[in-house]
Structure 1
Amino acid sequence: MNYIKTLSQQKLCLLLGVYIGWFLNISVFYQRFDSRAQVFIAWKGMAAAAEFFACLLVTFFLLRLLSIFGRHLWRVLASFVVLCSVAASYYMTFFNVVIGYGIIASVMTTDIDLSKEVVGYHFAIWMVLVSAIPLFLIWVNRSQDTLLQQLKTPGQRIKNIAILLCAGLLVWAPLRMLGEMQSDDEQGSTTDMASYGGVVASSYVPVNWVSSPGAFCLGERRRIHRQRRADEPHEKSSPTLRLQA
């Protein structure tokens, strides 16, 4: 118990990265890696390894970045990340659902029929059992050395910013390279494949549900903007019609 309390916040984020990035994505790893093992190509093996470590590092990056808001708010935000990731993994594991824009749009627009169909006592049991360990770690740990505190401490700023940037670079660079390799393969064939980065982003928690609300909000903003532009001609023509009358 004392070890958990005194564990550094950075190590705690790494442990949560293992739990969320690896354990909650087991079913996705099996589906994607098993199909690649049947017809092994060098770059597909590299892709499997890159995706495996990217899941860990991107979760670590997200949790460390959230700690810039301080210890208390970090606990709330980290708990939210855990609960959303556990919920997403339930549907990914048992229903083989891709957590993308459509699912998030249905949730955020309060689709009652969808909620009645997919929420039940099995889901509640899964949420309680699977989220218990990470939530325990988050709330028992003292989380003294958050990123916010380290940025305020002279001598620790550069080191911790560098660690965070390296984690982000180690996620982006391999996936970028593999995406270009896939594009090169497409040029020599008639097969039109989906964007590699897009497929990876929609396949694994927590990236899939984190990116989808952003896409939803952006889509809603564009829709409102288009609606306003469509209404402008009517608003401008109304005074003219009144003057003629």
Structure 2
Amino acid sequence: MSAIAYLFNPPAVPSLPVRGRSERLPVQRLFFVGRNYHAHAVEMGRPVDKSVEVPFYFTKSPSTLVESGATVAYPPGTRDFQHEMELVLAIGAPGFRVTQADAAALVVGYACGLDMTRRDLQLAARDKGRPWDLGKDVEGSSVVSEIVPMPGRVLASGALSLRVNGQVRQQSDLGKLIWNIPELIADLSQYYHLQPGDLIFTGTPEGVGPVQPGDRIDGEIEGVGSIVLHVGAAE
């Protein structure tokens, strides 16, 4: 069988380093959970009542993925580029319509993540009932640290924090997630055939805020690791 010929070279497969391994984790899809900490939901003006609501999600292109330590240009079209620190869950086995009891079997590891957001564009779209793509699906906006292998393990607690230029902006604990990891995997798998390499950003706590060109962002999650991002000059 002859090789497929393309008009131009296709992009490389997005991937992330894995702690203790020479192989990298190929990234399939990027899922993001919206409003999964009560205090953040309140600061965004949309409190969550878990008794009557279900999780909601948005996606980003894998081409937005960048590794910890990178410098990302301040993006065009915004005056309010904001940080959101999150735990990232890496899927390592296929799953469809899994139960919460079986959800842990899909976990291959975790990482620290930043969901960088053009907040002014996101809120303008939200208030008009439009998709969030211009606010969220931003080039260089999905920042992820190395994957820490934890096959089958569910993280139920752990301190999370983020600093901008050394000043603490976000501080919380994974135990405050509204929907925990088994609940998220089970719910998302009702709508998608989850695949190895899918990443789930599990939501951000309160304290999100703007960054400026020249800023340095540092984040940590207890038991997982750390993440760094440099904000470059505006394009």
Under TM normalisation by the shorter chain, which class is it?
Answer: under 0.3
TM-score, normalisation: structure 1: 0.25
Larger-gyration structure (1/2): 1
What TM-score comes out, normalization by structure 2 length? 0.26
The structure where strand makes up a greater share of residues is 2
